């Protein structure tokens, strides 16, 4: 059966998943956790096969770190499943309740988007996070993981699908696409798929956007900045920068560019150079930076997303130059200021145009689990619909219900009746 046919069937299943009891969706999440734990050895065995093939293919160390699924990652996804299960049901919340006239009441209710296609990078834990969020939010999902984790994804998806079925959710609410050719086929399903969420490189996301009529939500690069202001606690800054660069180098919320206020550059840059060198990080600098510390020049490509133990350093005259640099060269993902000056915080928060704007903390906090969402389907840098880590709320839309008692528009157009707007409790 083709993706077209599966998506058409899924479109018919979607209303039934949306109407499913919250208890059934939460039970599915519990059963997924139980099943993953019970079959951990099967998952590790499949992952070892994927890892061996990736190493033979010369995959970079940063990508290999994403591919690995071990006890630590299993424990993390199990924590996320429990957190997500315990969150309130996001469906059916009343966000507007208004009387238009006597006996004519308008209600706005949260509901799922419907059928979501998610194409994600080679991370087995992403399969679990995305599927569980779709289940909790009542969305049907077509899932396509990276080819580098083919064996792991197959084992994990089958466990998730069986758990959803055992919990009583509609059959066919989850589908795994396994071949690369199915991506283009999925992009053609504009009549049956309501949203595409791509997770991958800038070029990949752009390809998705250019080859589908389906709305696309996602981000491309993760060029995150930390600006060290002149009033910064320098020891704090060193600690935060090291975490943001080295805690998980391959993540899209790892810091890539460091902006240093000119007034502290001569004092701070040598400290930064030693601290990051001790943590295995290589720095590249602009002309002013290279006049203070012995680093190679930033390449012609400028400040980019390295996804490696490399960071760009640039000296800026003041906070305004830092903000202008972030807004022009950043990816509007997550950017942080290290400062002790409250006015600098206010200006930075107000003027930096990013999904996450932080003060005195690591950019690595930009994550659905760390926001208390339980998990995320990805980070959105767009401004329409969802922005930042996309959890349950980002997978919802709403619909209006209107309860009447025989009213017709003609009576209001002719002046026989008039609206009497009144918000209800």
Q: How are the residues of the chain apportioned to helix, strand and coil, as percentages rounded to the nearest 5?
A: 45, 20, 35
Contact 144, 93 (CB under 8 A): no
Is residue 50 domain-resident?
yes
Based on the fold, state whether residues 254 and 213 are members of the same structural domain: no
Q: Are residues 139 and 243 in the same domain?
A: no
What percent of the chain has pLDDT above 90?
Answer: 81
> Residue 345: which domain range?
224-365
Could you tell me if residue 76 is inside a domain?
Answer: yes
Q: How many domains does the chain have?
A: 2
Token pair of 67, please? 């591919």
What single DSSP character describes residue 115?
Answer: E
- Tell me: do 276 and 308 sit in the same domain: yes
Do both 207 and 261 map to the same domain? no
| pLDDT computed for residue 220 by the predictor | 64
* Last residue in a domain, options 348, 365, 382: 365
Distance CA 3, CA 33 (A): 28
- Whether the predicted pLDDT of 59 surpasses 80: yes
Say what percent of the chain tops pLDDT 70: 99
Q: Are 322 and 259 in contact (CB under 8 A)?
A: yes
Average pLDDT over residues 29-38: 98
Structure confidence by residue, pLDDT tens digits, 297-346: 998 778 899 989 999 999 999 999 999 999 999 999 999 999 999 999 99
Position 299 scores a pLDDT of 83
Instruction: State the pTM of this model.
Output: 0.86
Residue 45 clears pLDDT 70, i.e. is over it = yes
Please check whether residue 229 lies inside any domain of the structure: yes
Residues 125, 260: one domain?
no
**Residues 192 and 238 both lie in one domain:** no
Task: Let me know whether 189 and 248 are in one domain.
Answer: no
44 with 186, same domain: the answer is yes
Better-predicted residue by pLDDT, 220 or 176: 176
| Model confidence pLDDT, tens digit, residues 128-166 | 999 999 999 999 999 999 889 999 999 999 999 999 999
Q: Tell me, yes or no, whether 340 lies in a domain.
A: yes
Residue 288 lies in a domain: yes
Query: Which is more confident, 10 or 66?
Result: 10
Q: 294 lies in a domain?
A: yes
Q: What is the CATH number of the domain that holds 164?
A: 3.40.605.10
Q: What is the pLDDT of residue 236?
A: 98
- Greatest C-alpha distance within the chain: 82
The residue-averaged pLDDT of 47-64 equals 89
Tokens of 253: 């919320």
**What DSSP assignment string belongs to 24-42?**
HHHHHHHHHHHHHHHTHHH
Structural domain contains residue 261: yes
Same domain, 59 and 95: yes
* Cβ–Cβ < 8 Å for 268, 234: yes
Determine the pLDDT at residue 121: 78
Looking at every residue in the chain, the average pLDDT score rounds to 94
Measure the CA–CA gap between 252 and 255, rounded to whole angstroms: 8
For residue 6, list its beta bridge partners: none
Helix 342-351 vs helix 319-329: crossing angle, to nearest 10: 20
Is residue 201 domain-shared with residue 233, that is, in the same domain?
no
Same domain, 214 and 229: no
pLDDT tens, position by position, 371-421: 988 888 888 888 888 899 899 999 999 999 999 999 999 999 999 999 999
Give a yes or no: residue 268 inside a domain: yes
Secondary structure class of 227 (helix, strand, coil): strand
204 pLDDT tier (thresholds 50, 70, 90): confident
The C-alpha angle 299, 302, 303, rounded to 5 degrees, equals 120
Which helix (H) or strand (E) segment is 313 a member of? strand 310-316
CATH of the domain at 344: 3.40.309.10
Instruction: Give the residues across from 228 on adjacent strands.
Output: 260, 338
Q: Examine the domain organization and report whether 161 and 293 are in the same domain.
A: no
Q: What's the CA gap between 346 and 215, in Å, rounded?
A: 34
């Amino acid at each position: 059966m083709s993706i077209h046919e599966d998506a058409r069937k899924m479109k018919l299943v979607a209303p039934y998943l949306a109407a499913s009891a919250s208890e059934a969706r939460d039970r599915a999440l519990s059963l997924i956790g139980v099943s993953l734990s019970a079959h951990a050895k099967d998952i590790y065995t499949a992952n070892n096969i994927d890892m061996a093939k990736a190493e033979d293919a010369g995959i970079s160390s940063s990508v290999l770190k994403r591919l690995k699924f071990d006890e630590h990652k299993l424990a993390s996804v199990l924590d996320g499943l429990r957190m997500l299960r315990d969150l309130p049901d996001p469906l059916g919340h009343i966000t507007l309740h208004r009387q238009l006239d006597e006996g004519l009441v308008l209600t706005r209710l949260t509901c799922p988007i419907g059928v979501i296609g998610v194409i994600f990078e080679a991370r087995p834990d992403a399969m679990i996070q995305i599927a569980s969020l779709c289940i909790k939010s009542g969305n049907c999902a077509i899932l396509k993981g990276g080819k580098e984790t083919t064996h792991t994804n197959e084992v994990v998806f089958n466990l998730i699908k069986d758990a959803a079925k055992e919990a009583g959710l509609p059959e066919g609410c989850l589908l795994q696409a396994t071949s690369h050719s199915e991506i283009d086929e999925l992009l053609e399903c504009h009549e049956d798929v309501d949203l595409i969420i791509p997770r991958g490189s800038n070029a990949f996301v752009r390809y998705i956007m250019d080859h589908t009529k389906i709305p696309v939500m996602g981000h491309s690069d993760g060029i995150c900045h930390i600006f060290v202001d002149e009033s910064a606690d320098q020891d704090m800054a060193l600690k935060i920068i090291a975490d943001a660069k080295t805690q998980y180098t391959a993540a899209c919320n790892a810091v890539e560019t460091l902006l240093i206020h000119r007034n502290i550059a001569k004092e701070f840059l040598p400290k930064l150079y030693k601290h990051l060198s001790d943590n295995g990080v290589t720095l590249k600098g602009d002309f002013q930076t290279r006049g203070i510390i012995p680093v190679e020049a930033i390449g012609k490509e400028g400040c980019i997303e390295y996804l490696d133990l490399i960071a760009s350093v640039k000296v800026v005259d003041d906070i305004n130059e830092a903000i202008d640099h972030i807004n022009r060269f950043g990816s509007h993902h997550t950017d942080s200021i290290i400062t002790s000056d409250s006015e600098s915080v206010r200006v930075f928060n107000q003027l930096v145009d990013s999904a996450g704007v932080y003060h005195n903390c690591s950019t690595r906090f930009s994550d659905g689990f760390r926001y208390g969402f339980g998990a995320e389907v990805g980070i959105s840098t767009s401004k329409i619909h969802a922005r930042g880590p996309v959890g349950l709320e980002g997978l919802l839309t709403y619909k209006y219900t209107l309860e009447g008692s025989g009213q017709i528009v003609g009576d209001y157009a002719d002046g026989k009746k008039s609206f009497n707007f009144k918000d209800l409790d």
